[in-house]
Amino acid sequence: MTLSHSMLAIEISAPGGPDVLTPTSVPVPVPGHGQIIIRVAYAGVNRPDALQRAGAYAPPPSASSLPGLECSGTVVAVGPGVTRWQIGDQVCALLPGGGYAEYVVTQEAHALPIPKGMSLKEAACLPETCFTVWSNVVMRGGLKGGERFLVHGGTSGIGTTAIQIAKALGARVFATAGSDEKCAVCRDLGAEAAFNYHTTDFVAEMKALGGSNLILDMVGGPYIERNLKALADDGRMVQIAFLQGAKVTLNLAEMMTRRLVLTGSTLRPQSDLAKAKIAKAVEENVWPMIERGAFRVVMDSEHELHAAPAAHWRIESGGHVGKIVLKVNP
């Protein structure tokens, strides 16, 4: 297959709101050593895309300036040293950026096969959330069966993924969400209980249960101190974003006296090797969950590539449940 020299993509014309996402023509990427080119079928839309668009989350120096951190599609070119993939293989992949385009380059070790029985549209929703949840909840947070696990933002892409993976691991799962309807979705996905944060104090609820052994939080701000109070002794809190602010004043005496662990990570700046290790763990552990029906993609909406601004308005509205995708070359 001969690739064209240029392709349609969505660029960030300037930092700002969703309307700064504009169509453009850019060169088709060329694969380097160990890299593959994917003809994008669908691209996932994630919160970090919106942060990058707003000027609050700069891509790593070696990454594409185009947004888009996950996709599904077909391998159309391979670089020197690629051994796993061949032209024509269908994959989903974690990307360093550049997913909002007709073609994208990524490391071969960051691509995974499409799970059995799953569509390309659904598979585009897997990499960013599955890599994030598995690396933070299991690899960093050490979640074990029988433990009490609390995730905030239970109906976000991360939340719907975390609920199902934690449930499949045998944990007791709890979630927060912004409406009774969203709480019902959390319970349907496997949460033992879900708390409407407008009407219910999750700290009191978790303390009544003995405290949470692990909390996954992307809210930050005032939630950080509340999370510490909601933890059981020897509990762990993993921070993956700060939607309400990264700077707070904390009395860390409680951390010492109750032996609490505060940790966190963000996926994009990690090394290619670190991401490859996460990819291997996800394929070995999460893909079997999907294939036995213990985990499914919760889909909110689909938008054409040129309608990327509408997708960003949707993700920032707070009304979405599950994942949002862009349709590129289905």
Residue 288 lies in a domain: no
Structural domain of 139: 130-264
Do 77 and 14 belong to one domain?
yes
- Read off the pLDDT band of 319 (50, 70, 90): confident
pLDDT in tens, 116-159: 999 999 999 999 999 999 999 999 999 999 999 999 999 999 99
Interacting residues of 202 by C-beta distance below 8 A, sequence separation 6+: 150, 174, 176, 195, 226, 230
Instruction: Report the percentage of the chain scoring pLDDT > 90.
Output: 92
The answer to whether 154 and 163 have CB atoms below 8 angstroms apart is yes
* Predicted pLDDT of residue 138: 98
Average pLDDT (169-191) is 97
CATH of the domain at 239: 3.40.50.720
Residue 229 lies in a domain: yes
Do 205 and 330 belong to one domain?
no
Cα–Cα distance list, 223 to 68, 153, 172, 180, 324 (Å):
28, 12, 21, 20, 26
- Read off the pLDDT band of 3 (50, 70, 90): confident
Residue 7 lies in a domain: yes
* Predicted pLDDT of residue 243: 85
Average pLDDT (223-247) is 94
Do 79 and 153 belong to one domain?
no
Residue 274 lies in a domain: no
CATH of the domain at 80: 3.90.180.10
pLDDT in tens, 240-294: 998 888 899 988 999 999 999 999 999 999 999 999 999 999 999 999 999 999 9
Do 156 and 193 belong to one domain?
yes
What element of type H or E holds 215? Answer: strand 212-217
Do 96 and 189 belong to one domain?
no
| Domain finish residue from 264, 285, 307 | 264
3-state secondary structure of 233: strand
Residue 243 lies in a domain: yes
* Predicted pLDDT of residue 177: 96
Residue 63 lies in a domain: no
H-assigned helices in the chain? 47-53, 120-123, 127-133, 157-168, 180-189, 202-208, 223-230, 253-257, 272-291, 308-317
Q: How far apart are CA 323 and CA 320, in angstroms?
A: 8
* Predicted pLDDT of residue 199: 97
Do 176 and 231 belong to one domain?
yes
| Domain finish residue from 264, 282, 306 | 264
Do 92 and 159 belong to one domain?
no
* Predicted pLDDT of residue 1: 59
Q: How does the average pLDDT of the chain come out, rounded?
A: 96
Q: What is the DSSP string of 38-82?
A: EEEEEEEE-HHHHHHHTTSSPPPTTS-SS--SEEEEEEEEE-TT-
Do 7 and 106 belong to one domain?
yes
Q: How far apart are CA 51 and CA 298, in angstroms?
A: 22
Do 147 and 110 belong to one domain?
no
Do 103 and 207 belong to one domain?
no
Do 105 and 153 belong to one domain?
no
Average pLDDT (222-230) is 95
pLDDT in tens, 37-88: 999 999 999 999 999 999 998 898 888 999 999 999 999 999 999 999 999 9
Number of domains in the chain: 2
* Predicted pLDDT of residue 57: 87
Do 100 and 137 belong to one domain?
no
The residue with tokens 């409406």 is 179
Judge whether residue 2 has pLDDT over 80.
no
* Predicted pLDDT of residue 244: 87
Residue 39 lies in a domain: yes
Q: What are phi and psi of 76, to 5 degrees?
A: -120, -10
Judge whether residue 20 has pLDDT over 80.
yes
